Amino acid sequence: MAFAYSDRDLETFREVQQLAYRCAEQVAAWIEPGVTERQATARLRRSLVGAGVTDFFHVPFAWFGDRTAFRHFHTPLQFFAGGRVLQEGMPFVLDCAPVVDGYTADIGYGGKVGENQVWDRLAQDLKVYRDLILREVKARKPLNEIYAAVDAQIAAHGYDNRHQVYPGRVIGHQVTRNTSRAPAGVNLFGFGLRTLQTLGRELITERLHGRSPLWADGRSSRHAPTPGLWAVEPHIGFRDTGIKFEELLVVTEDDAYWLDDDLPHVRRWTTTTEAVAG
Amino acid sequence: MNQSDEPRRRFVHSGGVDLAVFEQGDPTAPTLLLVHGYPDTHRVWDEVAAELAADHHVVRYDVRGAGQSGVPDSREGYRLAQLAADLFAVADAVSPDRPVHVVAHDWGSLQSWEAVTEPGAERRIASYTTMSGPCLDHMGHWIRHRLRRPTPRHLKQLLVQGAHSWYITAFHLPVLAPAAWRLGLARAWPRVLRDLEHVEPRPGHPQASLKKDAVRGIELYRANMRPTLRHPRERPTEVPVQLITLRRDRYVNAFLSEGLERWVPDLTRRQLNATHWSALLQRAPAVAGMVREFTARVEAGAPAAPTGPLVVVTGAGSGIGRATALAFAERERATVVVCDLDLAAAERTADLVGLLGGTGHAYRVDVSDGPAVTAFAQTVAAAHGVPDVLVNNAGIGHSGTFLQTTEKEWQRVLDVNLWGVIHGCKAFGSLMAERGQGGHIVNLASAAAYLPSKALAAYATSKAAVLMLSECLGAELAGAGIGVSAICPGIVNTNITRSSTFSGLTEQQQAAQQAKFSKLYARRNFPPEKVAEEILAAVRSGKPLVPVTVEAKAARLVGRAWPGLLRRLARLGVG
């Protein structure tokens, strides 16, 4: 499969991703003890719509406390924001996937309120996974092997892989320009109607090629990374603290790179490294 | 004791009686006030006092009604409030300008608690070392809490402590208790102490006045037990407290101090492998050492040392070893010394230990190398102290029938799995026995230890040996107060399968087998954290053999009830 996006397309994808992270940062700055997950997602949604978002790939999510590590998740309903109240020292994760003019972003933003040593360590270690995934994708290793390498690294770190709790145990999924004509802004099971339509079509086309638009550890991921855009979301947890990043990875026929390096988690690593070096 | 060490005697008047006070050592040094229990006098402290007098101002006194002190007129005179007032009176007399360090045993400990938990006591008492005697108010709350939440564990604790306190009830019986002392118990006391407490009589103990002291001292129980236990008061304290738990105490159980942190924010817990009286009469240097260390820490104004145990875990770079190290850090704020062949992995574990509130130190050790393990034990002892808990976890997996397994493979499996444990037990076990404060050794065996399989000849043999080694060692170390547990996990999702070797297979086939078993173990998905929980429980309860997973328990049961069935299964090569 050939790489289908022009530089202009990529630029627009980047702008939408920036917009998503900007809104997540705004909500993260506003968030404080006493806020519930539902309040946080409502705020996130308002902020995104205010910035020009017309549709959602999936509804925004917010997880607080041990829910960031997906502890005690048994049904898919538990992924939806609930009444959990944020307390001092708690970690949180905001996840949203806005669509603007068919261009989709899907991001994950991890944060904490107050002091949380475990979170600091996890946030620092997250860099290893971002580097590892890019290295392996560049080497065009089969997706299931990259998945296994990420899991092995998580085990070496002494953490748990929380992406295995996601439906289908996915660590990532393909993102395309949404061309569906279904009504915008309509959600079904947490996913936009347009998303479902596009996703369904892709699942069928990719399956015909022996590939999958979903990136997991199973048989259907036993192929080299498909050219296109991948939303990648390694999610690690330790005890009651979880953290993830999610951002777009560009895979061309012969190369790979992260769509944007100017993101909150990447900036955090740079400042920490500078602080250590200084 | 030579003439210059002879204690200087004086009398201090308090609450209508004269208390006989005995002083030793340099009066300008920090003052230690030693309070004796029932039915003793200050002479029970002779050995401990002699040890401490070298660098402390050591003061002892006979409590009211005992030895050379005066006798109160009525039962009222034995009330805790009065006993605490006595303590303060003596402290004021011997060290008017400087707070004293109190060290107490048995009933001395009960009455000192009364003083230590008085509001503002921290101005007169610098520190408190307590042995074998809880605060009666704390104990009242302890009982209430257990009655309110009667879990099986709580009920058991109540029953066990109740059974151990039979004499308290007996002391409330009129006529009988004093008569028992008068009519023969006092005379038999040296024999009782020798047979039950492993304490040899010596001049001054039991004291000549034992009969009188014992009979009068009964009033201590009668005046205080019932009223205080029935209506316990809230008694927190600011004074730093060192609790020395005597592991073989027949009268006061270790679990009585559960939750003591609620009342004592600055609490240091220590253990001593001793009986109720042998602690003072046979283990005086050890007790004096603990008192000296604690007093010096308080005098220097240093913060409380980490109160958790010192734990050594081998093979702690991953799997059950890492999970165990983390569990000790998380649950007990332990200092955990971890070792592994893979130093980076061990260091990572040490880091995580730190994240969870413990203190971690990492070393690279090959457990199959005897001299290396001995050197490791010496390093640990020098840098961190003698461990309270040792977990021999390092091990490797190997699959192959007896005839397939080469001599080299046998050697390797036995070197790591069996000799690793032998080296660990020897190096650390001897240090623990020598220190004499008890401890616990955990050896990781396997369900394969009692589940024969033709496909695991070397592995199962090595693990069966570990199991028997643990049983034998347990019998040997019981006297030293060191428990030994063998853990038989069963199928647990760790990377032992990814590093297991297989006899008679090419490298490619090996990799395929490893992948197959890893998948099987992953599907079983029993996390190492649950094994770690069982290990902590085994250390707490002293359970000698712990099968962990359902299959390990079932195999144990079938093996005992119907060994023929296991033999038949073994032929199938399951495992």
Cα–Cα distance for residue pair B435/B388, rounded to 1 Å:
10
| pLDDT tens, residue by residue, A147-184 | 999 999 999 999 999 998 888 889 999 998 877 777 77
A7-277: CATH class: alpha beta
- For chain A, the domains span 7-277
Domains identified in chain B and CATH numbers? 3-300 (3.40.50.1820), 310-496+527-570 (3.40.50.720)
A118 contacts chain B (CB < 8 A)? yes
Residue ranges of A 201-260 with Cβ closer than 8 A to chain B: 238-239
Closest CA to B348 of A111, A52, A158: A158
Minimal Cβ distance to B349: which of A155, A158, A238: A158
* Per-residue pLDDT at B282 exceeds 60: yes
Nearest to B399 by CA among B574, B277, B189: B574
Predicted ipTM? 0.89
- The confidence band for A121, taking pLDDT boundaries of 50, 70 and 90, is very high
Q: Do B355 and A156 touch (CB under 8 A)?
A: no
Q: What is the pLDDT of residue B571?
A: 84
**pLDDT tops 60 at residue B1:** no
pLDDT of B2: 43
Cα–Cα distance measured from residue B152 to residue B260, given in angstroms and rounded to the nearest whole number:
21
Option in B326, B355, B495 nearest A121 (CB)? B355
Listed ranges A185-199, B191-205, B420-434; the one with the highest mean pLDDT: B420-434
Query: What pLDDT, on a 0 to 100 scale, did the predictor assign at position B303?
Result: 75
Which of these ranges, B3-17, B101-115, B320-334, has the smallest mean pLDDT? B3-17
Mutate one of B313, B348, B352, B519 to test the A interface: name it (highest A CB count within 10 A).
Answer: B352
pLDDT in tens, A40-94: 999 999 999 999 998 899 999 999 999 999 998 888 888 999 999 999 999 999 9
Sign of CA dihedral B311, B322, B476, B421: negative
pLDDT at B573: 61
Q: Which residues of B touch A149 (CB under 8 A)?
A: none
> pLDDT value at position A235?
96
pTM score of the predicted model: 0.82
User: The tokens of A57 are what?
Assistant: 């790939």
The residue-averaged pLDDT of B482-505 equals: 88
Q: Which distant-in-sequence residues (6+ apart) come within 8 Å of A260 by Cβ?
A: A14, A17, A18, A247, A248
Shortest distance between the Cα of A61 and any Cα of chain B, in A, equals 28
User: What is the mean pLDDT of the segment spanning B96-122?
Assistant: 95
Cis peptide upstream of residue B134 (ω within 30 degrees of 0): no
Amino acid sitting at position A192:
G
pLDDT, residue B458, reads 96
Provide the number of CB pairs (under 8 Å) joining chain A to chain B. 20
Q: What angle do CA B372, B378, B382 make, to 5 degrees?
A: 145
Higher pLDDT, A235 or B259: A235
Strand pairing class (A172-175; A228-232): antiparallel
Q: B495–A155: do the CB atoms touch at under 8 Å? A: yes
Residue A177 touches partner B, C-beta closer than 8 Å: no
Sign of CA dihedral B192, B194, B195, B197: positive
Substitution target from A115, A117, A153 for chain B, most B beta carbons within 10 A: A117
Nearest CA to CA, how far is A123 from chain B (Å)?
Answer: 13
Tell me, what's the pLDDT at B66?
Answer: 95
Across chain A, what does the average pLDDT equal? 91
The predicted pLDDT at position B437 comes to 86
What percentage of chain B carries pLDDT values higher than 90?
74
Neighboring chain B residues of A238 at a CB cutoff of 8 Å: 352, 355
Mean pLDDT of B318-335: 95
Residue A1: pLDDT above 70?
no
The answer to whether residues A215 and A232 touch, using CB atoms and an 8 Å cutoff, is yes
Contacts of B322 in chain A (CB under 8 A): 158
Give the model's pLDDT for residue B575: 45
Q: Which chain B residue has its CA at the smallest distance from A121's CA?
A: B355
CB A199 within 8 Å of CB A231? no
Q: B355 vs A117: CB contact, 8 Å cut-off?
A: yes
pLDDT digits (tens, 9 = 90+) for B450-479: 999 999 999 999 999 999 999 999 999 998
What would the two tokens of residue B34 be?
Answer: 């030693």
**Over 60: is that where the pLDDT of B3 sits?**
no
- Amino acid B327: pLDDT: 97
Q: How far is A117 from chain B (nearest CA, A)?
A: 7
> What pLDDT, on a 0 to 100 scale, did the predictor assign at position A277?
65
Chain B: give the shortest CA distance to residue A133, in Å: 21
Q: What is the mean pLDDT of residues B524-545?
A: 93
Mean pLDDT, residues B189-218 taken together: 91
Higher pLDDT, B338 or B274: B338
Contact list, A155 vs chain B (CB under 8 Å): 318, 495
The catalytic residues of B are 459
B137-179: pLDDT as tens digits: 999 999 999 999 999 989 999 999 888 888 888 888 888 888 9
Asked, as a colleague might, if the bond just before B227 is cis with ω within 30 of 0, I would say: no
Q: What are phi and psi of B385, to 5 degrees?
A: 110, 180
Binary contact (A155, B322; C-beta < 8 A): no
Digit-coded pLDDT (tens) for B436-446: 888 999 999 99
Residues B485/B539, Cβ–Cβ less than 8 Å: yes
Among chain B, residues having any CB pair with chain A shorter than 8 Å are: 318, 322, 326, 330, 345, 348-349, 351-352, 355-356, 495
d(CA B297, nearest CA chain A) in Å: 29
pLDDT of amino acid B176: 85
Percent helix, strand, coil in chain A, to 5, is 45, 25, 30
A156 and B322: CB-CB below 8 Å? no
